[in-house]
Amino acid sequence: MFSRIAARNFSSSAANAYKVSILGAAGGIGQPLSLLLKLNGKVTDLSLYDLKLAKGVAADLSHIPTKSVVHGFTLADDGLSRALQNADVVLIPAGVPRKPGMTRDDLFNTNASIVKGLAEACAENCPSAAICVISNPVNSTVPIVREVLKRKGVFNPQKLFGVTTLDTLRANRFISEIVGSDPAREDVSVVGGHSGVTIVPLISQTQYSDTIPKEKADALIQRIQHGGDEVVKAKDGAGSATLSMAQAGARFAGSVLSGLAGEQDVLEATYIDSPLFKDEGIEFFASRVTLGPQGVKEIHGLGLLSVAEEDMIATAKETLRKNIKKGIDFVKANA
């Protein structure tokens, strides 16, 4: 009797049984992100990989009574390959975070090689997985992953994502502070990339475009673009956003899983290999996409822009061009 009830409660349909692997799972982002994914009902296997502490984090989370099993892996015993085998979704928050005074680009030297190594392991062990890159500088690390996957012959543009969801969350929160609305109901479109001027919130497309005075709108845009600095400064050398980023990463991974499961109208902004400005040589761009069973189902255009937003996009493109080239050149130089 007991076993029948248990079997019924723990059974999961094929569409809701996914393996999610988190690389860098014991870090500031990795731990709360792992917790939030332990709570996601679509996840049946949660594999946590880190150079340190992953087994401890896995043991800790494994006591939470949700249906996923949790495994922890470190470098020993071919842990990275085992963490990745049969993964449906891989999240990569491995790498060093910013300290006060640093830009995301300052992280390039350390994080580029970390991400490159992890991308090689993904290509070898789970070539069909959706790969969600959190490690900064996202504008360059996503091109690094693409180049690695291309070299291994397994690149699928529908399944490589740079996670920019934190910019959307900040935009939703910060605009609600100005207009006095429920932040959970806001849905600001943030496009471009994930650093400073490449973060372009499209305030003109919100219902408040005529009501927020220009000075306030300008300050809001500045705050969204540099919101990460508020956290870096407040943490005073102890890192950058981890908890809000974990929430952002869990939301994004949840949407990718919803898409895989065939749910309708799953929309997220994300930094992808995009046709939007390819004719101008900008190979990656963040915009809203609809997610589906094969990953990206539809890439949405930017919609109607104000003159000021057109200017911001032009500025963003110039920085993106350099950031993307830097990632591609890194893989060429370190092949």
- Positions 24 through 43 that interact with ligand NAI (CB under 6 A): 24, 26-30
Residue with tokens 């309708």: 264
Per the annotation, does 111 bind a ligand?
Answer: yes
Q: Which of 30, 88, 32, 85 is nearest to 54 (CA)?
A: 30
Say what the alpha-carbon torsion angle 316, 319, 321, 324 is, to the nearest 10 degrees: -110
- Positions 193 through 252 that interact with ligand NAI (CB under 6 A): 194, 239-242, 245
Q: Which of 86, 145, 141 is nearest to 119 (CA)?
A: 145
Per the annotation, does 50 bind a ligand?
Answer: yes
194 has catalytic annotation: yes
CB of 300 to ligand NAI, least distance (A): 20
Long-range contacts of 311-318 (CB under 8 A, 24+ apart): 312/192, 312/197, 312/200, 312/221, 313/191, 313/192, 313/200, 315/197, 316/192, 316/193, 316/197, 316/198, 316/199, 316/200, 317/277, 317/280, 317/282
Q: Which is nearer to ligand NAI, 47 or 242 (CB)?
A: 242
Number of residues that bind ligand NAI (CB under 6 A): 33
Q: Which of 87, 122, 129, 134 binds ligand NAI (CB under 6 A)?
A: 134
Rule CB under 6 A: say whether 93 interacts with ligand NAI: yes
Which of these ranges, 18-26, 150-158, 176-184, 281-289, lies near ligand NAI under the rule CB under 6 A? 18-26
DSSP β-ladder status, 284-292 and 266-273 = antiparallel
Per the annotation, does 40 bind a ligand?
Answer: no
Looking at the annotation, which residues are catalytic?
194
Residues making up the annotated binding site are: 24-30, 50, 98, 104, 111, 134-136, 170, 245
Catalog residues that contact ligand NAI under the rule CB under 6 A. Answer: 23-24, 26-30, 49-52, 93-98, 107, 111, 114, 117, 134-136, 138, 163, 166, 194, 239-242, 245
